[in-house]
Amino acid sequence: MRTIVIISAIFLLLANQAVATAPSAKAAAWEIVPAESKIEFEALQGKSTVRGSFEKFGGEINFDPKQLQTSRVKVEIDIMSLKASFNEAVATLKTPAWLNSEKFPKAIFTASQFTNTGDNKFLAAGNFTLKGRTVPLSFNFTFDEFSAKTAKAVGSFTIKRSDFEVGDKDPKKANDVADSVLVKFTINAKRGK
């Protein structure tokens, strides 16, 4: 009888350990709605502001505010889809000295660390790859909407183009374009199937 009790206890201990070490379920999948989303940028050129956007982007989003430990985001931006406030800027930005869009047609942001900072606000920590160079990137974003079927995330971050060797580090040698570039985004998404 004692042997049976000991064996039962061992099986129960192993079962509990298996449950404790089992991987957590993946966070909910979301699909970006391109027509209702946008990624824009702003940079000072002298005393003027150059504004632009990327018309094509997509990605894989698994996000759940209650499962941040299993949330993952990967967004790919089509550099060739760049639009700007004037055509000359578009042509210049696509050249090898700047974004080199032919050799590096995509910019990629990935994140696997998220922190809830309150009031539907979160901090994302990950990496941003541009022109073949990867730099750590963290930024805050807010859910203007989050339901079982739809979500709308809004945020912004600032990068230094010199970190990615986009244009000359010296603004005077880079058509007077400042080193800091503001990126703003609005991502509307629907719950994946």
Please report, for the chain, the start and end positions of each structural domain, with discontinuous segments joined by +.
Answer: 25-191
pLDDT of residue 24: 56
Mean pLDDT (whole number) for 120-129: 98
- What average pLDDT does this structure show over 129-157? 97
Query: Residue 68's pLDDT is what?
Result: 97
Overall average pLDDT of the 57-72 stretch: 96
- Averaged over 37-62, what is the pLDDT? 96
CATH architecture, domain defined by 25-191: Beta Barrel (2.40)
pTM confidence score = 0.84
Q: What is the pLDDT of residue 16?
A: 47
User: What percent of the chain is predicted at pLDDT more than 70?
Assistant: 88
Of 182, 178, 184, 174, the C-alpha closest to 95 is 174
**Span 77-103, pLDDT tens digits:** 999 999 998 889 999 999 999 999 999
Q: What is the mean pLDDT of the chain?
A: 89
Q: What is the pLDDT of residues 149-177, one digit of tens each?
A: 999 999 999 999 999 999 999 999 999 99
